A and B are shown apart, each in its own frame.
Chain A
Amino acid sequence: MLTYTIRRLAFAVPTLLVISFLIFGILDLAPSDPTAQLPLTIPPEVREKIRLSLGLGDPFIVRYFKWLVQFMVNEPLNILEQWTGWTIGDGERLRVLSWQTRSPVVDLIVQRMPQTLWVVGMSYVVGIVIAIPIGVISAYRQYSWFDQFGTLFSMVGFSIPTFFTGLLFIVIFSVTLGWLPSIYDTTLVVEDWDSFVAQVKQMIMPTMVLGLYNASQLSRFMRASVLDNLNQDYVRTARAKGMTEKVVLLIHVLRNSMIPVVTVIALNLPQVFGGAIITEQIFRVNGLGQLLIGAIEGGDIPTVQTLTFIFAVLIVVFNLIADVLYGILDPRIRYD
C-alpha cells in the first residue's frame, strides 16, 4: 500500500503541473480584466498603467513561471519560515498577490479556511448524519411509506437548487419568524455561552441548506448500497446464524454498505474546501467559495489561479485517499 501511495503521489506531480499550466492558459484566454469593475471615471490610460503595474505586460509564459515560482517555491518557504522560525535566504520573496486586495493570496485563503471548514464541513456532517439512517431504513423497508417519503425527500432536495432553498429559509426564518440571522456575522468570536449560541444560530441556515442537499444525494447512495448488500448471501448466512436483525443490519449490512459510501464521501470532500459558492454568497459567509466568486468577478487572476490549483491538488489527493480508504475498508482489495 505504501509503495502504491508513493507511486501515485509521484505520478501526481507532473499531472498537477500540467493542470496548473492549463488553468493558467484558460484564465489567460478568458476575456477578463482586473480594471473592468472600476468606475468609468478612471480614464483608459490609467487603466493601462494599472494593468502594467499588475504585471500584465509580461508575456504569458513569463507570467506563468513567475506564478509557479511564487506559489511552488516562495510560499512553501514562507510557511516553513513561519513554522520553524528559521530565516532562509534574505527573506525577501515575492508572494502571490491578489489583484483585488493587493495582499498575499495564501493569507486570504488561510483567513477564510475556518469558516468554510465549519459551515461547509458541518453541512457534510449533517448530511451524513441524516442520510445514513434514511438510506438504511429506506432500503430495509423498501417500498414502504418511509421509503417513498425518503425518495421524495431526496428528489426534492436534489432538484431544488440551494439558492432557492437558501432564499426560502431566509424568508421563513429571518423575515417572517425572525428567529435566525440572514447574514453571517464573520466578526463573531466565540468566547462565552451567548456568543456560542449566536454562532450556532447563524450556522443553522447555511449548514442545513447544504446539509439537506448533501443528504439527499448520499441517502440515495446509501439506500442503493444497502439494498445491494441486503440481497447478498452473507446476510442470509448471518440470519441463519441466528443473529438478531439489529446485528444483521448494523454489523453485517451497514459495514459492507459503507465501503462505497465512504469512498464517495472522501471523493466529495474537496468540495468542502471549494466551499459552496452559492450558499456562501447567499448567507455572506466569508469562505473560500465566496473568495473564488469574488475573484472571478473582479478579474483577480492570481487568486482564481491559486484557488483552482489548490482545489486541483485536493481532488488529486482525495482521489488517492479514497482509493487507499477503499483498500483499508475492503479486505478484498490490495494495491501492490
Chain B
Amino acid sequence: MSLDAMPPAAGAAPAPAGSGSRALLKVEDLQVLFPIYKGLLRRQVGSVRAVDGLSFEVRKGETLGLVGESGCGKSTTGRAILRLTDITGGRVELDGVDVAALEGGELRRMRRRMQMIFQDPHASLNPRMTVASIIAEPLDEHMALGRKARQARVGELMDAVGLREDFASRYPHEFSGGQRQRIGIARALALDPDFIVCDEPIAALDVSIQAQVVNLLEDLQKKLGLTYLFISHDLSMVRHLASRVAVMYLGKIVELATREQLYASPRHPYTQALLSAVPSPDPAREASRERVILTGDVPSPANPPSGCRFRTRCPVAQPRCAAEVPEFRKLEDGRQVACHFAE
C-alpha cells in the first residue's frame, strides 16, 4: 500500500510549528555519564561523558532534527529523554512533568505519551512474537481493552502504517526491512503518544525504502499531530523533515537553528564543515561547493579537550578556545551557537 493511498488526515492537522507554539519537551542541562571500571576490584576510574549538558526545547507539533557524527551522543540523548538510559543529571520535562524524576509505575504511565522508533527494525522486534502481539502488548499493559477492541486497534494501526491486516499473525523475520520498520512505527503509535523519538529510523533501510518511511512519518505527523525528535546523521533527510535542527559534537549541542538558517548560513565551524560535505542536487552549486576537510579524529568522550570541545579539529581555533568553554548563546537571528567567534 502506498502512502498516497492514505486517507486525508481526519481533523485539522496542526499548523507547522512556528516559533510561537508551546514547548512540549524541555531539556535542561541533560547529562549522561557512563562509568568506566578497571582493575581487579572494578573500581570506577572515570566516566564517558556521552551527553554533557544539553539544553533545548521541542515545540508541540514540530520536528526537531538532531544531527552529528556517530558517537557524538545523539542516540544516547534520545534514549535518555525516554529514560531508556539512566540520566546522570538535568531535567527532562514533557508537558510540564519532569520525566527525569519519575520512577516505577509513574514512569511507565508516562511512556504512553512518549515513544521511540528504533534504528534497526530487525533487532528491535522480539523475534518470538507475532506482529499482532508486538503491537498489542503495550495495549494490554496500559489500556484495559477487550479482545475485540484490541484486535480492532491492532488492525487500525497496521492499516495506518500501510500493512495488510492479515500479516498480523506473522513473525517479524518474515518481513522486509521497510515493512519491519512500519511494524516498529505501528508499535510506537499504539498508545497514541504525543512525542516520538525517531532514532535514525531509516539508516538501516535501502535507499529506495527510505523515502517511503519518511513520507509515512510525515503523514502520520500531520494526521495525528505528533511531535518528533528526529535523530540522524543524514543532513539532507533532516533538511527534508525537520523544522529546526540541532547539531551535536562530542556530547554537546554546538548549533541550534531553524532549518532555513542552518542550511543557508551555518555559523559554527563544525556545522559548516558538515554541510560542506553534503553534495548539492544543483550542479552549479555543486561545482562551486568548497569542502572543509576536518583533520584528526573525534577525541574520546572519556577525556574531552578542555575549553571548546571542537578546538582540536577546528580550522579557526585560537588559544582562547582551549581556556574558555564557549557559551551556548543566542544570536540576533534567534539561533543558538556555542562558538566564541560566531556572529
Contacts and interface: CB of A to CB of B under 8 A. Distances in A.
Q: State yes or no: do A and B touch (Cβ within 8 Å).
A: yes
Interface of A: 143, 232-234, 236-244, 247, 252, 255-256, 259, 329-332
11 contacts: A143-B37, A233-B123, A234-B123, A237-B116, A240-B84, A240-B111, A241-B191, A243-B141, A252-B126, A329-B128, A332-B127
Given A237-B126, A332-B173, A242 B112 contact: yes
Contact of A242 (B37, B124, B138, B184): B138
Interface of B: 37, 42, 79, 82, 84, 108-112, 115-116, 118-120, 123-128, 137-138, 141-142, 171, 173, 184, 187-188, 190-191
B161 to A, nearest CB: 16
A160 to B, nearest CB: 24
B126 A236 contact: no
B128 A237 contact: no
A239 to B, nearest CB: 6
B115 A331 contact: no
B82 to A, nearest CB: 6
A232 B129 CA distance: 15
A240 B115 contact: yes
A239 B123 CA distance: 14
B230 to A, nearest CB: 16
A329 B184 CA distance: 22
A332 B137 CA distance: 20
Nearest to B118: A233
Nearest to B83: A239
Given A237-B126, A241-B141, A332-B127, 7 more contacts: A232-B123, A233-B123, A236-B79, A237-B184, A241-B137, A244-B141, A332-B173
A243 B141 CA distance: 7
Contact of B127 (A236, A243, A247, A256): A256
A330 B37 CA distance: 36
Closest 8 CB pairs of A and B: A242-B111, A233-B124, A233-B123, A331-B171, A241-B138, A332-B173, A242-B108, A234-B126
B189 to A, nearest CB: 12
A252 B141 CA distance: 14
With most chain B CB atoms within 10 A of its CB, the pick from A233, A236, A237 is A237
Given A143-B42, A233-B120, A234-B123, A241 B84 contact: no
Contacts of A332: 127, 171, 173
A232 B109 CA distance: 23
Nearest to B112: A242
Contacts of B190: 241
A331 B42 contact: no
A242 B125 contact: no
A260 to B, nearest CB: 13
B125 A237 contact: yes
A237 B141 contact: no
Contacts of A239: 84
A330 B127 contact: yes
B126 A256 contact: yes
A242 B109 contact: yes
B118 A243 contact: no
Contacts of B125: 234, 237
A64 B112 CA distance: 72
A258 B108 CA distance: 27
Contact of B187 (A233, A241, A329): A241
A241 B110 CA distance: 10
A264 to B, nearest CB: 18
Nearest to A235: B126
Contact of A237 (B42, B142, B187, B191): B187
Contacts of A242: 108-112, 138, 141-142, 191
A301 to B, nearest CB: 48
A234 B125 CA distance: 5
A331 B173 CA distance: 8
Contacts of B116: 236-237, 240
Contacts of A240: 82, 84, 111, 115-116, 188
Contacts of B112: 242
B138 A236 contact: no
A326 to B, nearest CB: 12
Contacts of A233: 118-120, 123-124
A243 B104 CA distance: 10
Contacts of B124: 233-234, 236-237
A238 B111 CA distance: 11
A240 B125 CA distance: 12
Contacts of A237: 116, 118, 124-126, 184, 187
A40 B140 CA distance: 79
A285 B188 CA distance: 58
B233 to A, nearest CB: 18
A238 B127 contact: no
Nearest to B126: A234
A238 B173 contact: no
A331 B109 contact: no
A243 B111 CA distance: 9
B226 to A, nearest CB: 15
A237 B118 CA distance: 8
Contacts of B82: 240
A259 B126 CA distance: 13
A104 B137 CA distance: 58
A148 to B, nearest CB: 10
Given A234-B127, A256-B127, A243 B137 contact: yes
A224 B54 CA distance: 36
A331 B127 contact: yes
Contacts of A329: 128
A255 B191 contact: no
Contacts of B127: 234, 256, 330-332
A131 B109 CA distance: 34
